[in-house]
A and B are shown apart, each in its own frame.
Chain A
Amino acid sequence: MTGTTRIVVVSAGLSVPSSTKLLADKLGEAVERAVGARGQEVDVQHVELRPLAHALADHLLTGFATGELAQAIEAVRHADGLVVVTPVFSASYSGLFKTFFDVLESGMLDGKPVVIAATAGTARHSLVLDHALRPLFAYLRAVVVPTGVFAASEDFGATDDGSLDKRVERAAGELAALLGGASAPAAAPQRRTVADEFAAPTPFEQLLREAGGSSVR
């Protein structure tokens, strides 16, 4: 990978301050250190969804993004890796969190390395990571790192071996490993997006051939 590695941290916390944002900040810093430790330039950008709530509801109804939401979507499109953090609401990711990923164009996350993380009042919700977030990002064809980071309120105080910081470091290290160095895996195949089509239109003769063939376009 050449040039600056771009990381976008998407967090869906609602209160100020929120433990979700706190976890997002920890992960952002850890990823910055882990990628930097591999000798890469790194840029970490935070996207908080709370101020985009209205724009997201409008997008659902109109089909297009405006203002800061449009910028946030572009940041995700161009990110090399993502950290996504949601509070647990009713045994799953929050609706606001899901809405952001609902309005992304198909294919935008194809092959993108992602750290999944969640917060809740109690550790009893910790399987949300594997029962809700992991399937969502599998559907979006992202590459989810093995360690998911879950933080219950009590984790912000614990310092033992299984501490939150250790899991944060491990997830950040796994993301950095996917992002850089000579041993990084080859880029995963990506679906063609509208932006690709604008950049290099499929010639009509090919469209005509495909129409008569067996493809779905």
Chain B
Amino acid sequence: MGIQIGIFTVGDVTTDPTTGKTPSEHERIKATVAIAKKAEEVGLDVFATGEHHNPPFIASNPTATLAYIGAQTEKVILSTATTLITTTDPVLIAEDYAKIQHLTDGRVDLMMGRGNTGPVYPWFGKDIRQGINLAIENYALLRRLWTESNVDWEGRFRTPLQGYTSTPRPLDGVAPFVWHGSIRSPEIAEQAAYYGDGFFHNHIFWPKSHTEQMVGLYRERFAHYGHGTAEQAIVGLGGQFFMRRNSQDAVREFRPYFDNAPVYGHGPSLEDFTEHTPLTVGSPQQVLERTLSFREYAGHYQRQLFLVDHAGLPLKTVLEQLDLLGEILPEMRKGFAEGRPETVPDAPTHTSLVAAAGGAKDLTVHAEDTMTGTTDRAEEAEEARA
């Protein structure tokens, strides 16, 4: 597959500045499902949702959203952008995403993030100043829960575990692939590199020099920890565009959304921001060329996710953006394949991870009858013989 191309949403409920209309939570939740289904329809590889626990977002409980979308799609990989590894109990993450793995036949992976909304930490009994330490300890536990049964564990941030087995066990004995996302913390690039996991740089709000530095550090440390060469590290990038067939139309239509956007609105001009960040507002050809230029500073990479449904853009417009993205998708894939050395790995999937692990293993933990010393598995075998 080479590179995976998809979309990610933060689930913001934002007033459309051109009409003054604000969608209800219900409308926004249903729109998210429609957008995910459209992503699959136009041939995208990934749909990812963020996680927020405060208004104006509808992105709490991403597992329900992903499972629901999983039931209505066939191929698209479901992911998170991001899962709050700081404030979410790693025991729940282990259970929830292994469950979705089974339900969707392995069409799920995760992106870990810390979250930067101060009050969310105390709401979940945590301290934002411990963000990095929480991300490190919680993820170390999560990995053990997926790879080991009968986990004994004691740490700083969570109640201890004795003889705990997270269920269901990961599908085919292989944990979901994990990306670590961070905009500006080198420690998270270091964490991703240490484990040989993917590193995702959101990329969309910051100058390319910064992305280059973060991705460069991750690649260098990936090689340092012996997972392969620097060019074999697993890199993902964010992106942001608004396109119309005529570039002037795109600029005219998008400007009010840009000027009032929750994150960067009322700040730099659209022209300044498109110059300094990956935001591209223009024709499909311009979006295609800009996207393919990301490799110049990030190297050949494995996952490209676009933000298309924020800042109050109506559903109809978002679906039109996806149609246009679908139209340039074959050219984009072709462009990404050009000059890509064979030694650069494809984006990891459940299938590739199972193959790398030497085939599928059923890790189901069967109950043991402590009175008679038999297990239900032994009983089944006996019944089969009888």
Binding site for B on A (CB under 8 A): 57-58, 60-64, 66, 194, 197-198, 201-204, 207-208, 210-213, 215-217
Closest to B216 in A: A198
| Cross-chain contact B133 with A216 (CB below 8 angstroms) | yes
CB neighbours (8 Å) of A215 from chain B are: 133
Closest to B154 in A: A212
CB neighbours (8 Å) of B316 from chain A are: none
CB neighbours (8 Å) of B155 from chain A are: 212
CB neighbours (8 Å) of B190 from chain A are: 201-204, 207
Other than the given A60-B267, A66-B276, A204-B225, 9 more pairs (CB < 8 A) read A61-B268, A62-B205, A64-B205, A66-B207, A197-B186, A203-B190, A207-B187, A211-B132, A212-B155
* B365 CB-CB contact with A under 8 Å: no
Number of interface residues of B (CB under 8 A): 36
| Cross-chain contact B272 with A66 (CB below 8 angstroms) | yes
| Cross-chain contact B132 with A217 (CB below 8 angstroms) | yes
Q: Contact check: which of B132, B193, B217, B264 meets A198 at CB < 8 Å?
A: B217
Distance to closest chain B CB from A102 (angstroms): 15
CB neighbours (8 Å) of A202 from chain B are: 187, 190
* B210 CB-CB contact with A under 8 Å: yes
| Cross-chain contact A62 with B267 (CB below 8 angstroms) | yes
CB neighbours (8 Å) of A204 from chain B are: 190-191, 193-194, 225
Distance to closest chain A CB from B46 (angstroms): 26
Query: C-beta contact mask, B56-97 vs A, less than 8 Å → 1, else 0?
Result: 000000000000000000000000000000000000000000
CB within 8 Å for A217 and B133 given contacts A61-B264, A208-B140, A212-B155: yes
| Cross-chain contact A64 with B210 (CB below 8 angstroms) | yes
CB neighbours (8 Å) of B136 from chain A are: 207-208, 211
C-alpha gap A206/B184 in the complex (Å): 19
Q: Contact check: which of B130, B184, B267 meets A61 at CB < 8 Å?
A: B267
* B213 CB-CB contact with A under 8 Å: yes
| Cross-chain contact B207 with A64 (CB below 8 angstroms) | yes
CB within 8 Å for A217 and B213 given contacts A207-B136, A211-B133, A211-B137: no
CB neighbours (8 Å) of B257 from chain A are: none
C-alpha gap A207/B195 in the complex (Å): 13
CB neighbours (8 Å) of A216 from chain B are: 129-130, 133
CB within 8 Å for A62 and B137 given contacts A201-B217, A204-B191: no
Query: C-beta contact mask, B173-206 vs A, less than 8 Å → 1, else 0?
Result: 0000000000011110111011000000000011
C-alpha gap A215/B268 in the complex (Å): 38
CB neighbours (8 Å) of A208 from chain B are: 136-137, 140
Interface residues of B in 271-293 (CB under 8 A from A): 272-273, 276
| Cross-chain contact A212 with B137 (CB below 8 angstroms) | yes
CB neighbours (8 Å) of B300 from chain A are: none
CB neighbours (8 Å) of B206 from chain A are: 63-64
| Cross-chain contact B213 with A198 (CB below 8 angstroms) | yes
Distance to closest chain B CB from A191 (angstroms): 14
C-alpha gap A212/B157 in the complex (Å): 8
| Cross-chain contact A212 with B156 (CB below 8 angstroms) | yes
C-alpha gap A66/B159 in the complex (Å): 45
Closest to B157 in A: A211
* B266 CB-CB contact with A under 8 Å: yes
Q: Contact check: which of B194, B225, B267 meets A58 at CB < 8 Å?
A: B267
| Cross-chain contact B187 with A198 (CB below 8 angstroms) | no
Instruction: Provide a sorted-by-A list of 30 A–B residue pairs whose CB atoms are within 8 angstroms.
Output: A57-B267, A58-B268, A61-B264, A61-B266, A62-B263, A62-B264, A62-B273, A63-B205, A63-B206, A64-B276, A66-B268, A66-B272, A194-B184, A198-B213, A201-B187, A201-B221, A207-B132, A207-B190, A207-B191, A208-B136, A211-B137, A211-B140, A211-B156, A212-B137, A212-B155, A212-B156, A215-B133, A216-B129, A216-B130, A217-B132
Chain B at the A interface: SS class: helix
CB neighbours (8 Å) of B210 from chain A are: 64
C-alpha gap A105/B133 in the complex (Å): 20
Max chain B Cβ within 10 angstroms of own Cβ: one of A64, A194, A215: A64
Q: Contact check: which of B186, B225, B267, B273 meets A194 at CB < 8 Å?
A: B186
CB neighbours (8 Å) of A217 from chain B are: 130, 132-133, 187
CB neighbours (8 Å) of B264 from chain A are: 61-62
C-alpha gap A198/B132 in the complex (Å): 16
CB neighbours (8 Å) of B133 from chain A are: 210-211, 215-217
Distance to closest chain B CB from A177 (angstroms): 36
C-alpha gap A63/B204 in the complex (Å): 12
C-alpha gap A95/B185 in the complex (Å): 29
Closest to A212 in B: B156
Distance to closest chain B CB from A202 (angstroms): 7
C-alpha gap A203/B191 in the complex (Å): 9
CB neighbours (8 Å) of B194 from chain A are: 204
Distance to closest chain A CB from B109 (angstroms): 21
C-alpha gap A203/B136 in the complex (Å): 13
CB neighbours (8 Å) of B129 from chain A are: 216
CB neighbours (8 Å) of A63 from chain B are: 205-206
Closest to A217 in B: B132
Distance to closest chain B CB from A200 (angstroms): 10
CB neighbours (8 Å) of A203 from chain B are: 190
C-alpha gap A212/B137 in the complex (Å): 7
C-alpha gap A57/B137 in the complex (Å): 37
C-alpha gap A210/B186 in the complex (Å): 15
Closest 3 CB pairs of A and B: A61-B267, A204-B194, A197-B186
